[in-house]
Structure 1
């Protein structure tokens, strides 16, 4: 991790890279953040060469990176930031929104969009008190290819349909031989790395 003065970085972040906002105050059971605790990350900026350190956490409900400054909550601006790099995760900004990076190369980007939806647990009126709403974590995988987002369904038949029809048999064989699970991000990455040149245009 790049050593910088966190205090100086926070002043710069407040001035140039974030804005204050009011987070959703609705009382809901569960953790609304990607990580258990806020942690140190490096910001790779769009218009500056020098990276910036920040302590942040990804708010899955608001879909923002929150920075806490005393009583004020700031959100990082995706139009100013290219990447947010944690020790074991990396997020990228595309079209003014942050996505978790599964694979990024010169040919395509495989991204995860993780968010929370609110739901109310079932209860029996008159017998049970109405419960507080809860969070349910949802995750979508997207292929960013030729400047377009394509939703990726985690089904074998759908994955095969994303490629040239003439490659269906070969892709099916590759998936069987390598035991590719559509639910595993690393295995999805290997499939797209192997066959990206045959993706449907």
Structure 2
């Protein structure tokens, strides 16, 4: 089954993956190893099952074949569904879906961020850069992306001033953390109409 799906993917919705030549410490993939996923294509009602993993460095989905690795083309795919997460394609790029409904989408742009570990100059050699997983959250509404800062004051300021007291009370009552995707989703679902 996977061999025939690999041939279909190679022919229709992927291109050969040419990896970037960057040295780093750590895993460049979202999951430790490839997982089962269902691809929903833009121009087909027939879902395709594949084993894939999200490459955080190149921000693409990789599918390992016997001889080559393929990367999925975001302009051919509507969404990639894993058992625990959903990624959607918008404007030629993949985003992790936090919430998607008929009014709006909350999307996370997940990527690898380079940083230099702490060291003492003059005593220790400068270490090689390390990478860590990070994400930026966007509100996708009326075909536009709006960057969301993960700060309480910023989030409250996104909504109508008339509702700021009510939103602040909701924030305190539910102990909303701007870093928690599920709690962020709860805030936007509750107060979306006041954006």
- Provide TM-score, normalisation by structure 2: 0.94
Gaps of 5+ in 2: none
Check if 1:39 corresponds to 2:27: no
Pairwise mapping of residues 70-89 of structure 1 onto structure 2 (< 5 A)? 70-89=66-85
Distance in 2 (CA, whole Å) between partners of 1:52 and 1:59 is 19
Distance in 2 (CA, whole Å) between partners of 1:67 and 1:60 is 14
Distance in 1 (CA, whole Å) between partners of 2:98 and 2:58 is 21
Structure 1 pair 157/123, CA: closer, same or farther in 2 (3 Å)? Answer: closer
Gaps of 5+ in 1: none
Contact 2:17–2:62 (8 Å) recurs in 1: no
Q: Deviations over 1:31-50 (max 9, x none)?
A: 11101111110000000000
* Alignment coverage as a number of residue pairs: 195
Indicate the residue corresponding to 2:7 in structure 1.
11
Indicate the residue corresponding to 1:174 in structure 2.
170
Indicate the residue corresponding to 1:66 in structure 2.
62
Structure 1 pair 129/160, CA: closer, same or farther in 2 (3 Å)? Answer: closer
Q: CA RMSD in A?
A: 1.5
Distance in 1 (CA, whole Å) between partners of 2:12 and 2:112 is 28
SS at structure 1 position matched to 2:24: coil
Structure 1 pair 188/123, CA: closer, same or farther in 2 (3 Å)? Answer: closer
- Provide TM-score, normalisation by structure 1: 0.91
Shift of 1:182: 1.0
Distance in 2 (CA, whole Å) between partners of 1:157 and 1:110 is 18
